């Protein structure tokens, strides 16, 4: 059986322990992977390296796939976000966040099954800030026709491949007529040019947020620029149980990085309390990506076994404490392994 090299970045805080649990489950499920360990974040700094070492970037470029645990990012000072640097340097322009209800995780809503697609490289996250005068600062929001058209094309292709029926664009083009106007027009143009069978909708983002929290089941796939996508991704996670129960992926034309979208939680690191489910779900996304891009059915089989295993564990009440259960990190991993179908 061919084994696929995957760069593994354990991350900071709880990262190493949730990564260890996920590796164990992947191994038990027969995932045909070969790990190439990389460093980033505080773990790299503590070894005298850059927060995003060139060796890690080169490994991801070479192997084209990575699984990343949470990395610490200083707030208001210090080094640039590792996630932002990865996306820019590897041109991972599509952030993908599936949001769905899980059996055994009770929430206010049921039947939620949507995907949030976010443009990852532009907008207010372009990092163009300046001091105009003492006490006066500015941030520049960047939008290009190339990037807007590229993410729209990616989103509609994804919708077609996954059987999604409608794409909704959230925008603020009534105020930001040039930047959000371009994003909206590019999405509309891509839809009209080749995806007429998929429903298309545009909503001003404040009205869209209200509609989302009133009834998230009315949405299928949301297409958003960078900042809106960041905010709505976490809002969506809150609708189904929080950041501990949603996966995340950052995908480009050559490389893809799959990651836990929650923080590094240093306050509970090393205490066997962290929930590894988000990283595990991201690993399932990674296996399905490998199945599609490498045409390896063994990856799809392992992904389905793991999904069946954690769905069964959750439905039977075998959960970590953040989800209302009493299991630790390793005990939850044990519960999933025990429930992997033959």
Residues labelled catalytic: 125, 172, 206, 230
CA gyration radius for the chain? Answer: 20
Contact by Cβ (8 Å): 258, 291: no
Burial of 75 (C-beta count, 10 Å sphere; 0-12/13-18/19+): exposed
Contact by Cβ (8 Å): 21, 332: yes
Paired tokens of 131: 């001091």
Residue of 87, 79, 107, 128 whose CA lies nearest to 230: 87
Q: Where are the beta strands (DSSP E) in 232-320?
A: 247-251, 256-260
Query: Which residue do the tokens 């009770």 mark?
Result: 106
H/E run at residue 290: helix 277-293
Q: Please state, as a whole number, how many other Cβ atoms lie within 10 Å of the Cβ of residue 8.
A: 21
Query: Which residue do the tokens 């297409």 mark?
Result: 223
Q: Quick one: the chain helix, strand, coil %, rounded to 5?
A: 45, 20, 35
Taking the C-alpha atoms of residue 89 and residue 255, their distance in angstroms, rounded to an integer, is: 11
Paired tokens of 130: 């300046």
Residue of 234, 238, 239 whose CA lies nearest to 224: 234
Q: Phi-psi category of 98—alpha, beta or left, where left has phi over 0 and alpha has psi -120 to 50? A: beta
């Amino acid at each position: 059986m061919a084994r696929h090299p995957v760069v593994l970045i354990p991350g900071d805080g709880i990262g190493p322990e949730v990564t260890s649990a996920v590796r164990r489950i992947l191994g038990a499920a027969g995932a045909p992977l070969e790990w190439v360990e990389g460093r980033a974040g505080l773990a790299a700094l503590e070894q005298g390296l850059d927060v995003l070492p060139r060796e890690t970037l080169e490994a991801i470029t070479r192997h084209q796939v990575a699984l990343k645990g949470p990395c610490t990012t200083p707030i208001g000072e210090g080094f640039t976000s590792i996630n932002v640097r990865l996306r820019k340097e590897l041109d991972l322009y599509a952030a993908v966040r599936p949001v769905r209800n899980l059996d055994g995780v009770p929430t206010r809503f049921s039947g939620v099954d949507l995907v949030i697609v976010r443009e990852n490289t532009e907008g207010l996250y372009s990092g163009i800030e300046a001091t105009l005068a003492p006490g006066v600062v500015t941030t520049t929001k960047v939008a290009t026709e190339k990037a807007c058209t590229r993410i729209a094309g990616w989103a509609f292709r994804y919708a077609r491949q996954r059987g999604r029926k409608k794409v909704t664009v959230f925008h603020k083009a009534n105020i930001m007529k040039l930047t959000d106007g371009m994003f909206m027009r590019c999405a509309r143009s891509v839809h009209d040019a080749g995806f007429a069978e998929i429903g298309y909708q545009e909503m001003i983002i404040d009205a869209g947020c209200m509609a989302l929290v009133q009834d998230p089941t009315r949405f299928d796939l949301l297409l958003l620029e960078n900042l809106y996508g960041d905010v709505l991704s976490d809002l969506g996670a809150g609708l189904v149980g929080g950041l501990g129960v949603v996966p995340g992926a950052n995908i480009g034309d050559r490389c893809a990085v799959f990651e836990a979208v929650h923080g590094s939680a240093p306050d509970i690191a090393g205490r066997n309390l962290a929930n590894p489910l988000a990283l595990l779900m991201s690993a399932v996304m990674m296996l399905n990506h490998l199945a599609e891009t490498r045409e390896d059915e063994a990856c799809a089989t392992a992904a389905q076994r793991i999904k069946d295993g954690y769905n069964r564990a959750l439905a039977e009440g075998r959960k970590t404490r953040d989800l209302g259960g009493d299991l630790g990190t390793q005990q939850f991993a044990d519960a999933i392994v025990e429930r992997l179908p033959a």
